[in-house]
Amino acid sequence: MPLSTAQVVTDRPQHHLEQIVKELRHSAAAAHLTPDGRATADLGTGRCVLTFEGDHLALTATAADAEALAAVQQTVGEAVQRAAADVPAVAWSDRFPGDTVEPTHPVTADYVLDHCTPADGLLQDLVAETRAATGGASRMQVSHDEGALLTMLTRLVGARRAVEVGVFTGYSSICIARGLADGGRLLACDVSEEWTALARRYWERAGVADRIDLEIAPALDTLKALPAEADIDIAFVDADKGSYPAYYEELVPRLRPGGLIVLDNVFLGGRVLDPAFTEPAHRAMRDLNALVASDPRVDAVMLPVRDGVTLARKR
Ligand SMILES: C[S@@+](CC[C@H](N)C(=O)[O-])C[C@H]1O[C@@H](n2cnc3c(N)ncnc32)[C@H](O)[C@@H]1O
């Protein structure tokens, strides 16, 4: 559970932040302060991000385990005391795990749902039938607001050539297919005959079946077999999380300039925030998120939509 936060109330937050960064540098931490007032202190085994807002500093410490977290808290706490002797000692929160962090408050999530173009009857039927047919797996389906986002993005890029990795029962495919320009096609990749049988039925009902090419095979094989030509307008990735870096590397070179790759679940339920989560999929997503942010081939933005959605547009 190696996350912890603290607020330090002060009448001179910016001044104190600058002083704390100086003190941290004396404590062998690699401390960096950006001109817009975001400080990071890297202690090797953990890090702390410090920002200021209004009358306080906001501190977030992360580390791989409780012991390393305690070391970060101590180093930062002592730097605060030395830099701002007149403020009370830092009161850190209890440790908490990344997978308890809600990117969006449930109340906000409901409000967002209520203020998007609503899902039509067909999509609502698909949600209900997916629940009945797949039980707990139905959680994998994209939400209405994310579906609306996919249709909008597909329209905005004027997509004629789209790729989807992870079809399940077809909700996101319908949203993408509905946004395609005339004559546009969606290559939909999945490994499940069973789940995509339901998708096929709903594609027929939605009148989009004739523009979707379903490939039942490991998606990486399907992507590798695509021509090298850079002609994809939009790609949506929502399948096995550990393979995201490989999907990204196959898709980015095939995007046309201005084309978009959309990556779902980039928060992994908050696990990417917490270095204590070390399964291969957690590491893969954390590494990919870092790579995308510094990838010179794309401009990227990470949106706190549901479980996190990254949009990367090819330069
Ligand atoms: C999160 S669900 C996709 C949800 C879908 N986008 C929707 O809106 O309903 C993930 C899907 O990825 C598929 N999948 C898992 N591993 C895969 C692989 N290696 N290649 C292709 N598809 C895979 C699963 O069968 C599953 O249908």
In a domain, 88, yes or no: yes
pLDDT per residue as tens digits for the range 224-272 = 999 999 999 999 999 999 999 999 999 999 999 999 999 999 999 999 9
Range of the domain at 305: 106-314
Does residue 235 lie in a domain region?
yes
Domain total for the chain?
2
Is 7 within a domain?
yes
* Rounded distance from Cα 157 to ligand 1 centre (Å): 24
Distance CA 205, CA 228 (A): 34
Instruction: Assess whether pLDDT exceeds 70 at residue 100.
Output: yes
Residue 228 in 3-state DSSP?
A: coil
pTM above 0.75, yes or no: yes
Q: Are residues 288 and 154 in the same domain?
A: yes
**Are 203 and 302 in a shared domain?**
yes
- 1 pLDDT more than 70: no
In a domain, 233, yes or no: yes
256 in the same domain as 151: yes
Does one domain contain both 124 and 263?
A: yes
Task: For a ligand 1 pocket test, name from 126, 130, 190 the mutation site with the most ligand atoms within 8 angstroms of its C-beta.
Answer: 190
Dig out the tokens for 10 from the structure.
């002060």
User: Within a domain: residue 101?
Assistant: no
Residue 12 falls inside a structural domain:
yes
Query: In angstroms, what CA-CA distances link 161 with 153, 171, 198, 302?
Result: 13, 18, 23, 23
CATH at 37: 3.30.310.50
User: What is the per-residue pLDDT across 186-239, written as a single tens digit (0 to 9) for each?
Assistant: 999 999 999 999 999 999 999 999 999 999 999 999 999 999 999 999 999 999
Element (H, E) at 195: helix 193-206
- Give the CATH number of the domain where residue 298 resides: 3.40.50.150
- Among 68, 96, 124, the domain boundary falls at 96
Residues flanking ligand 1, CB < 6 Å: 140-142, 166-169, 171-172, 189-192, 195, 218-219, 238-240, 243
